[in-house]
Amino acid sequence: MTNGQDAFPEALRAAIDRRGMSLERLCDRLRTMGTPVSTATLSYWQSGRTQPERAASLAALRNLEHIVGLATGELAGLLDPPKPRGRSATRPHRTVVGSEFFPNADRVEALLRDLDLSRDTQLTRLSGHDRVLVGPNRALHTWQSRQVLRAEEDGVDRLVVVHQLDLPCDGTERIRAVRNCEVGRVKADVEAGLLAAEMVFGRSVPKHETILIEHDVVAPSAGSPSTFFERRCRTPVREYLMEVRFDPGALPARCSLYTAADGVEKVRPVGLDDDRTTHGLVLDFGPGRFGIRWEWPDAECPENAEVVAGFRGGPA
């Protein structure tokens, strides 16, 4: 992999050359996929004169990766940090402690004491994608997570994740490594619904190189009805996508997307697509909380239920 500021344009040029397509043909394909860009823009990306940063350009880049036969996020992971705009240009990024966004912070800290967090701040979160499946019993059944990370020091070899699950928990929830990682030490607090684990990479990542890892969490089949899914970002993430897919026998009455950062929560309604899925996307987000809430069409799962309903992701 090429390092430094030339990594993205060089990888893009090589992928286009292997595919053997002209820029005009690529533009035609992108246009038919609903993410048009000009040939001049593609030329600028290839030369390194500019790079995709805005939401429309990043959407086009995802389709471009597919067209030239690359994995999702393979080119996006090589982008330099976007240039700050507006108020974010003067707002310094900060990193919060792993337990800050959890209501039971003391119990989270107790789990984290037994895990290796020494390398965590040496990883830049470039891209994240969570895909959540809600089963016919209205409980969250599976959460699939993909992250593209960049090492800022040599030898980074793991990431610690924390999940807060639906209550009550019975201890059968499990975390599984899917791609480019293995599950290291795992700590659980069943009473609090907490699960923490080290995701150990398949290799130590050199400085400035990226790694794509995937893992999932599988909950027991007889869980409590859920009403939201949330990702807690304790460090900034360049691009984060959340999808929640519902079983055809358990469709919500309505859904809403929310972000919570700097003490301010913003909420807006979102709908379901033809695949019974709702989604939300944020760029240059964090630290903060990002999630999707939903309401069931009857009183089976009331808003003021005493149980904690939700499947909360840990620090991104």
Task: Kindly list the strands in the beta sheet with 210-218, ordered across the sheet, starting from the edge strand earlier in the chain.
Answer: 174-179, 210-218, 140-151, 123-134, 237-246, 277-285
State which of 78, 95, 130 marks the end of a domain.
Answer: 78
Tell whether 305 and 180 lie within a shared domain.
yes
* CA-wise closest residue to 52 among 71, 35, 31: 35
- Answer yes or no: pTM beyond 0.85: no
Establish if 85 belongs to a structural domain. no
Tell whether 188 and 282 lie within a shared domain.
yes
Tell whether 156 and 277 lie within a shared domain.
yes
Tell whether 198 and 298 lie within a shared domain.
yes
* CA-wise closest residue to 142 among 224, 213, 247, 216: 216
The phi, psi pair for 294, rounded to 5°, reads -145, 155
Please give the C-alpha separations between residue 311 and each of 101, 137, 148, 167, 199, in angstroms, as whole numbers: 14, 14, 22, 9, 19
**Length of the chain (residues):** 316
Establish if 248 belongs to a structural domain. yes
Please give the C-alpha separations between residue 190 and each of 160, 161, 225, in angstroms, as whole numbers: 18, 16, 18
Q: How many domains does the chain have?
A: 2
CB contact set of 57 (below 8 Å; sequence gap of 6+): 37, 41
Tell whether 26 and 137 lie within a shared domain.
no
Tell whether 183 and 231 lie within a shared domain.
yes
**Structural domain span for residue 149:** 105-315
Residue 55 sits in a domain whose CATH number is 1.10.260
Tell whether 118 and 263 lie within a shared domain.
yes
pLDDT tens for the 316 residues of the chain, in order = 444 457 888 999 999 999 898 989 999 999 888 888 888 889 889 888 888 887 788 888 989 998 999 887 788 878 776 554 444 444 444 444 455 566 667 788 888 888 888 777 889 999 999 999 999 989 888 889 999 999 999 999 999 988 877 666 665 568 899 999 999 999 888 888 788 899 999 999 999 999 999 999 887 655 678 899 998 887 888 899 999 999 999 999 999 999 988 778 889 999 999 999 999 999 888 888 899 999 999 744 444 333 333 445 554 4
Residue 177 sits in a domain whose CATH number is 2.60.40
CA–CA dist 168, 288 (Å, integer): 26
Concatenate the DSSP letters of all residues of 85-134 into one string.
Answer: -GGGGTSPP----TTTT-TTHHHHHHHHTTS--TTGGGEEEEEEEEEEEE
State which of 62, 78, 94 marks the end of a domain.
Answer: 78
Establish if 184 belongs to a structural domain. yes
CB contact set of 177 (below 8 Å; sequence gap of 6+): 183, 199, 214, 215
Tell whether 154 and 22 lie within a shared domain.
no
